[in-house]
Amino acid sequence: MDRMGFFTDTSVCIGCKACEVACKEWNEVPSHGLNLLGMSFDNTGALTANSWRHVAFVEQPRPAPDFLGMPGSHPPGQNGSADGRSDFRWLMMSDVCKHCTHAACLDVCPTGALFRTEFETVVVQEDICNGCGNCIPACPYGVIDKRENDGRAWKCTLCYDRIGAGMTPACAQACPTESIQYGRLDELRERAERRVERLHADGVPEARLYGHDPGDGVGGDGAFFLLLDEPEVYGLPPDPVVTTRDLPRMWRQAGLAALTMAAAVAAAFIWRSPS
């Protein structure tokens, strides 16, 4: 079966949060994020057990590109200077679980609560999760979180129940600008590359893809992004690496050390002098 995923084009995100609302409604995610954080219009702050989609608002106090229909820039004569430039721009991004190709959370789960579906997405089975929390530090993106007064781990399932029935995930279905796009991962990657080329041709050289490269530290993401600045600006790690990549080597070294110690103890008993 084809691998399915998300392509999030932040250049057309308007920060409406329809994705957050749709995710909560469909998945019955508890209410969260109604506090004023002092971070522009961001009232959720980060991905949590109760926020499976998080719309980030980044205000940059620097000139925006000429009007291209992008958030934060203006056509001539509209809230900007005479040449259509503004003294700041908003970078908006709807963040989500990346559904990594090499998912460390799968490696460390002792109960099998985390599993990879037939669509190559990563899902937590809440009825099997024992709340050990091993998956939380294992995630290189800091996505997985425990729910207060529950103790179990929760995150985006890429609407496993919906896509299994041939439907679009709730967040992508609700997005009014098609910033969140769902489909076959190989097709999404081709579409994203064409979009970057178009933006470069239109005078947006900073446009770049994040998480689409199968050769990166997690083998590529099932949910990747088009960004208009460095990943760190959006709170994303610049070079994510699967945190369990060194486990096989560590276990081999530990095993060798244990065998060496056992051999030394045995030799001490065999060759000790009679009392």
Q: Which residues are annotated as a binding site?
A: 13, 16, 19, 23, 97, 100, 105, 109, 129, 132, 135, 139, 156, 159, 171, 175
Buried b (16+ CB within 10 A) or exposed e, 77-96: eeebeeebbbeebbbbbbbb
Q: Token digits for 113? A: 């609560």
Residue given tokens 């995930």 in the structure block? 169
Taking the CA atoms of 9, 13, 15 and 20 in sequence, report the sign of the dihedral they define: negative
Cβ atoms of residues 5 and 172 within 8 Å: no
- Note the helical H segments in the chain: 18-27, 104-108, 135-138, 160-164, 170-174, 185-201, 247-271
CB burial of residue 67 (10 Å; 0-12, 13-18, 19+): middle
Beta carbons within 10 angstroms of residue 254's beta carbon: 10
Token pair for 212: 């689409």
d(CA 69, CA 86): 13
Q: How far is CA 67 from the centre of its chain?
A: 29
Annotated binding site for [4Fe-4S] cluster: 13, 16, 19, 23, 97, 100, 105, 109, 129, 132, 135, 139, 156, 159, 171, 175
Token pair of 213 as six digits: 């490269």
